[in-house]
Structure 1
């Protein structure tokens, strides 16, 4: 008689994960935010620098936690996004998703709904303006989605910089005043009303205007020096940024009016961002 066959539990496969980078065309960014003085060219350069910084963060996280990248933006922005990825060393693959809808909330919900319709089981969405986001926070998001319905990263201005979900729930976004100071409190109330389990990430600041950018550049940050150099080069080259502090990585002799009129040639970028 043959011994009874042992039925060993098969290891479950990891969930399909996606990270959505939600952004928009620089023209719309210039209209919506006070960054670069509302000048389209300056805003485009600044936001491409932001995207390059975020790509570094995303790529580092992707090496530890397997997820696909979806970039959701205006259709006219696709060429700019392609250039950012092309100039990023070792850039990962990504899917470009054109926005659908006329309002911010409609575009945001469409991006999430589309990701779940593609078969992803865990989806996180971030904006383009939180420079303190780390690979560890992205990895923690997907880990927490194993046992929580929602992961939320509150922003210092009353919004949120990250949202992680296990399923698309339209009621989660009911009566939301998007792009305002009550977004975090409104979505938190909806989470509680729907009795969804929630994990909160640390509160971080995002960059909405030149003052926010100056504050971020002056604050201690592991990646601040590298990105600060790049952003300052761009802004100084465009004659658009008046500094009220001395960057810690530049010697005092660089603060003369003559030397500030153009960026130090030894740290100029080798290729344009867009």
Structure 2
């Protein structure tokens, strides 16, 4: 482990299995399911590389159980990382809150959650997030679509996951408003670009 990082750090990765027709449906509407699957595999590889380079303990939380998978063996997209199945809850917020609660319950002191939609997420940004949690209660990585690509905290604040319209432009402002109401000290990382649609993909490729 990188000695610059606190020993009690942990990353939660919320992801899906790369299955044709089951991932990146908004992107697939613009470029086709097979091309969207290829993009998703690329995003998974970039995310896995960032987590590995950050040298932080991590757990992958898959949206559903892979067909025929052995829960004791890492998934090929996530070499060396343990994986779990996300809790059976309709709300993304509920599932994230439960994953945070489990990490804190297992002894982590600083926990960060990320998705797999942000190609510019880096090991350095992950390190920055944990560094900020030494001085702040909450760290947020804003996405330019109004959501966030990263959220980290030192203890579970379940209210941050309540009453959110997930996958909309209100997620970040509503989360920050909740944090202000709770009196939390908030650090923000640089704003990054998520890839969810054909236009997002064109913007990313264009850079």
TM-score, normalised by the number of residues in structure 1: 0.66
Give the distance between the partners of 1:168 and 1:187, measured in 2 at CA: 14
| Structure richer in helix, relative to its length | 1
Query: Following superposition of structure 1 onto structure 2, how do residues 81-96 of structure 1 map, counting pairs within 5 Å?
Result: 82-85=75-78, 91=79, 93-96=80-83
Q: Which position in structure 1 is the counterpart of 2:189?
A: 201
CA deviation map 1:38-64 (0-9, x unaligned): 7544433321221111112222221xx
In structure 1, list runs of 5 or more residues that go unmatched.
1-12, 86-90, 220-274
Q: Which position in structure 1 is the counterpart of 2:10?
A: 18
Helix, strand or coil: the match of 1:184? Answer: helix
CA deviation map 1:136-179 (0-9, x unaligned): 11111111111110000111000001001101111222221111
Task: Tell me the matched-pair count.
Answer: 195
Give the distance between the partners of 1:127 and 1:14, measured in 2 at CA: 22
Q: Which position in structure 2 is the counterpart of 1:29?
A: 23
Work out which of the residue numbers 115, 140, 143 in structure 1 matches 2:103: 115
Q: Which position in structure 1 is the counterpart of 2:65?
A: 76
| Alpha-carbon offset, residue 23 of structure 1 | 1.4
Helix, strand or coil: the match of 1:116? Answer: helix
Helix, strand or coil: the match of 1:34? Answer: helix
TM-score, normalised by the number of residues in structure 2: 0.85
What is the aligned-residue RMSD (CA, Å)?
A: 2.1
Higher relative contact order (Cα pairs below 8 Å, separated by 6+ residues): 2
Greater Cα radius of gyration, structure 1 or 2: 1
